[in-house]
Amino acid sequence: MTGMIGDSPPMREVYRLTRKVASSQATVLLLGETGTGKELVAKAIHDLSPRRTGPFIRVNCGALSESLLESELFGHVKGAFTSAHENRTGRFEAAHGGTIFLDEINSTSYTLQVKLLRVLQEHEFERVGDTRTISVDVRIVAATNRDLIEMVERGKFREDLFYRLNVLPIYLPPLRERIDDVPPLAEFFAKKYAEENGRQNMVLDAETLTYLKRYSWPGNVRELQNYIERSIVLAAADRLTADLLPPHVRGEAPLRLGRLNRTDLESMCSELVSMGLAAAPEEGAAYNKVMGLVEKELIQQVLRVCQGTQTKTASRLGINRNTLHKKIEEYSLESDAR
């Protein structure tokens, strides 16, 4: 598969499915943790499809507010809202004849989900503030890093839209479940970043590889990519030695949440970014994304200590119980209503 490294059985299955779905017009849903390669597969589906000469348009549904996302997708007419000074073409129109990749589809609001369902069913929509119906010929590929079935059960995602999207699901396995892919990926990134940094023959030490194969990769391929890039920049010679890896990858100083102060929190944020758990900063969303991850992890851990009791958890965290309740809902955490 173009641009995709890894020959493990689960990845071979991904390549097989990708090739198979590419020729059809059907909607594809890409599932999998952050950094597993969903965007690469979306692009591969487009490049292998009969639409390859048409546009490939990516929209990150998680990076924009509801109203901005609506006008980004469908466009708007002048005067539709205060800041609509001009008519604007939406991304669905821009993708005409090609593929639209709706990334983080789980982040869309219920109202927008109704409109998306209509596009999926009828290939029709109106620009915001307009009555004229627009028809497009667009192939839809969507991705989610949240469990949509669980969101449907909790009333956060429309069931009808889920079934419409889930025609051809492709699951990208986490890197820890295909650890044999780590060495070829590491070599691939070493070569790539060596070239970019004007170095040649970057050799990965056996010890480095041992650590890389032992680590659990919560940020998946993106995390591996970040560490290799960082190590190459830091390396003094043409060897990628284990001491260049972050301590927690070498099994030391695991990333842990104890009693946090501001400095700890800040360094943890940058760690999360480098682990690839927070996507590349996009439209100013990185801060909230990282803070959300830290918050989720913190609440989860304190809930565990307090055996899921909300009253105790709220008082230990020093936050209001209603606030805690909202956060638990938002992050879909397990808890006891007490």
Ligand X SMILES: Nc1ncnc2c1ncn2[C@@H]1O[C@H](COP(=O)(O)OP(=O)(O)OP(=O)(O)O)[C@@H](O)[C@H]1O
Instruction: Name residues whose C-beta falls within 8 Å of residue 319's C-beta, 6 or more positions apart in sequence.
Output: none
Q: Give whichever of 35 and 90 is closer to ligand X, judged by the CB atom.
A: 35
> Using CB distances below 5 to 8 A depending on partner kind, what does residue 225 bind out of ligand X, Mg ion, none?
ligand X
The answer to whether the CB of 89 falls within 8 A of the CB of 96 is no
Distance separating alpha carbons of residues 62 and 28, to the nearest angstrom: 18
Part of the chain binding ligand X (CB under 6 A), chosen from 17-25, 47-55, 129-137, 217-225: 217-225
Nearest to ligand X of 209, 317 (CB atom): 209
- Is residue 279 at the binding interface for ligand X, with CB under 6 A as the rule? yes
| # chain residues binding ligand X, by CB under 6 A | 17
To ligand X, the closest distance from the beta carbon of 34 in angstroms equals 3
Interface map 6-25 toward ligand X (x if CB under 6 A): x-------------------
Q: Which of 22, 29, 37, 162 binds ligand X (CB under 6 A)?
A: 37
For Mg ion, the closer of residues 39 and 47 by Cβ is 39
Judged by CB under 6 A, the residue of 27, 34, 49, 313 near ligand X is 34
Q: Are 337 and 313 in contact (CB under 8 A)?
A: no
- 30 φ, ψ to 5°? -100, 125
In this chain, which of 107, 145, 310, 313 binds ligand X, going by CB under 6 A?
145
Return the residue of 31, 32, 162, 190 that touches ligand X, per CB under 6 A: 32
174 sits near ligand X (criterion: CB under 6 A):
no
- Choose which of 10, 15, 39, 265 interacts with ligand X (CB under 6 A): 39
- Bridge partner list, 203: 239
Residue closest to ligand X (Cβ): 37
- Would you count residue 38 as binding ligand X (CB under 6 A)? yes
Applying CB under 5 A, which part among 32-40, 171-179, 202-210, 225-233 lies near Mg ion? 32-40
Of 100-119, binders to Mg ion (CB under 5 A) are none
CB 32 to ligand X: min, Å: 6
Least distance to ligand X from the beta carbon of 1, Å?
Answer: 8
Single residue of 33, 39, 47, 126 touching Mg ion by CB under 5 A: 39
Say whether residue 293 binds ligand X (CB under 6 A): no
187 makes contact with Mg ion (CB under 5 A)? no
Nearest approach, Cβ of residue 284 and ligand X (Å): 17
Binding site for ligand X (CB under 6 A): 4-6, 32, 34-40, 145, 185, 221-222, 225, 279
